[in-house]
Amino acid sequence: MTERRSIDPKLSFLAGWFLGRRSRRRSGLGCLVLLVALFAGMSAIASLVSAPLVWNNARQTANLPKPIAAELTSMVPGEQVLTVAKVPADLPIDSHGLAQFRTEIYVEYATDQSSNESSSSGWRLVEPTQARIGMLLPDGTPLLVQLVPQADLLNAETIEALDSTPRIRYVGYLPGQTLALHGIWEGDNLFTAEKLYAGTVDDYLDYQARMPGISLIMALLCGAIALLLLVGGGILRIVGR
């Protein structure tokens, strides 16, 4: 008769503990991958949903009046328009070389214990952009530009302070830059700017026209990543059982 060897109970316990631990690790990793896949899928959906809205905004922006300097000053106040103006080369600058700027601070993820509400990490406005800046229309006519507190400073210069805690950065434009202004003509050489873009009006419209395509590309990329992570996470979950 063939002699059957018994397995040492201690070795059996150690083997079972080791294999079970590896299984739990694979299972935990699978859950993490599936969670990341969920966030990627949500990002894809958000980008896909926003694409038509971005396209409609670009279309409406392209249809706005684009008066030259002489036409702008004769327009009826209160009308939304696109125009272009130049930051004077002799405008006073700050220590970072910016003629106009706003200060932003990086806020880490924090939770309000009293209301159980949380806010995501990101750059937050500390000091608003200058309320009013004297600029020049292409024909040299002075234009007083007032900025809304949350004005979009598109493709602006961004300078982050070194060795600062918390992190601080300054956002603005340089003296002599030509800016496309998207906002409301108030009359009396006063313009309320909601968006500023370093470049001409045509440059700004090209930027707006590209945004829907970028949203679609982001949706496709996030969707592909979500699908790959979903498959990978599923495989890890199966292997971990």
Interval 89-106: pLDDT, tens: 888 777 778 887 788 888
Q: What is the pTM of this model?
A: 0.68
* Range with lowest mean pLDDT among 120-129, 139-148, 169-178: 120-129
What is the C-alpha to C-alpha distance for residues 28 and 121, in angstroms, rounded to an integer?
A: 26
* Range with lowest mean pLDDT among 28-32, 65-69, 212-216: 28-32
Interval 30-45: pLDDT, tens: 677 777 777 777 776 7
Pairwise pLDDT comparison (12 vs 193), residue with the higher score? 193
What is the C-alpha to C-alpha distance for residues 238 and 241, in angstroms, rounded to an integer?
A: 6
The distance in angstroms from the start CA to the end CA of the chain is 38
Whether 195 contacts 182, CB under 8 Å: yes
Interval 45-67: pLDDT, tens: 776 666 777 777 878 888 999 99
Whether 239 contacts 26, CB under 8 Å: yes
Whether 97 contacts 172, CB under 8 Å: no
Task: Work out the pLDDT band at 179, boundaries 50, 70, 90.
Answer: very high
